Amino acid sequence: MSGIPNLPERFDDLPDKRRFWPGAAGSEEEGLGMLRLLTPDVVAHAAQTQIQTGERVCLNWDIENLSPPGFGRKPFEHRIKWVAEGIAFDDEYHFNPQQGSQWDGLRHHNAPAPTTDNPDRRVFYGGTTAEEIQDTQNSRIGIGFWAKKGIAGRGVLIDYLSYAQKKGIHVNALSRQTVSLDEVLEIARECCIDFQKGDIFFLRLGLPKTWKAMSADQRHIYSQQAVPQHAGIEQSDRVLRFMWDNHFAAVASDAVSFEVFPPLSPEHDLHHHLLAGWGVPIGEMFDLDELAETCKRLARWSFFISSSPLNCSRGVSSPPNCMAIF
């Protein structure tokens, strides 16, 4: 059972390729989006087949790393203060989840939905409007729906950075360098990865390596760009078919945007289709370096994933609080 009634098996079976909104407005079913694929049976099977050695790898990049952040986002701030002078300390954190490792929630990105009367109309997943999201009494498609269930299942890693290094390809994660679907499929074949319905798809491009090699001045210049450039997977009809036909519950990468940005093919913008159209969470800026090393050492590129988003009913995004277990 898929967990989503009337789920079309193939991309070609979708009546509307840009959106699939089966849940009633404001319902838990709508709020979970494609995470509904993570049924108890799917999660139990993932745990039984993937947890073998008990080794654990956390996938959260240091929350202070991407400083200064792009898009005019507020930098991370951390203060330690006495709560009882001389006896106990407290933390105070001030941060934008989008400034580091994060899940893009369904409230993060909308997509064009023009009508005859309003050709500029844009809506979020399910047809949710900006006014609903800004309503302090409305939690429709808020990340709190994800927090109640968590994100758990089988993860698979496509390690493009290692593949590129073997091929002599230089990777700059802060450029419009594109990972093609053919390269993804070649890596999957080399690693004997057989995608399964409900998988959580991870793509490693090497942002931590790119960022570490940059000077403070270069990082500042990046943060000031009105339209920064980010490496990522290609946008194409073939990628959309690949994403839908494999029925991934979520996708994530260590890149800033998951897909190449600015889009080289705006018609196939993955944020429009995955987030606003199909309800597929998009993870960005995960730390996948140790995960990749563990996969190489164990010669296996699948694992169990556990992620606990922040329990904020109206939240737009969340740190992933994510762990891979082998």
- The torsion angles phi and psi of 83, rounded to 5 degrees, stand at -95, -30
- Mean pLDDT of all residues in 42-62: 97
Query: What is the pLDDT at residue 240?
Result: 98
- Mean pLDDT of all residues in 85-108: 93
| Whether the Cβ atoms of residue 21 and residue 127 lie closer than 8 Å to each other | yes
At 242, the amino acid letter reads F
Task: Report the range of poorest mean pLDDT among 43-57, 214-228, 300-314.
Answer: 214-228
Residues pairing with 257 in the sheet: none
- Mean pLDDT of all residues in 64-92: 89
Query: What is the pLDDT at residue 1?
Result: 41
Of the two residues 62 and 318, the one the predictor is more confident about is 318
Three-state DSSP class for residue 227: coil
Q: String of b and e for 20-42 (b: at least 16 CB within 10 Å)?
A: bbebeeeeebbbbbbbbbbbeeb
Say how many C-beta atoms besides its own lie within 10 A of residue 62's C-beta.
12
CA distance 173 to 204: 10
User: Could you tell me which of 307, 242, 42 has the C-alpha nearest to residue 259?
Assistant: 242
Task: Report the range of poorest mean pLDDT among 67-81, 98-112, 119-133, 221-235.
Answer: 67-81
Query: What is the pLDDT at residue 18?
Result: 96
**Alpha carbon of 303 to those of 219, 295, 323: distances in Å?**
33, 9, 10
Render pLDDT for 107-147 as a digit per residue (tens, 0 to 9). 999 999 999 999 999 999 999 999 999 999 999 999 999 99
CA distance 17 to 244: 10
Average pLDDT across the chain, whole number: 95
CATH code: domain 21-70+94-325 is 3.50.30.50
| In the chain, domain spans | 21-70+94-325
Render pLDDT for 160-204 as a digit per residue (tens, 0 to 9). 999 999 999 999 999 999 999 999 999 999 999 999 999 999 999
| Whether the Cβ atoms of residue 18 and residue 286 lie closer than 8 Å to each other | no
Render pLDDT for 232-256 as a digit per residue (tens, 0 to 9). 999 999 999 999 999 999 999 999 9
pLDDT at 2 over 80: no
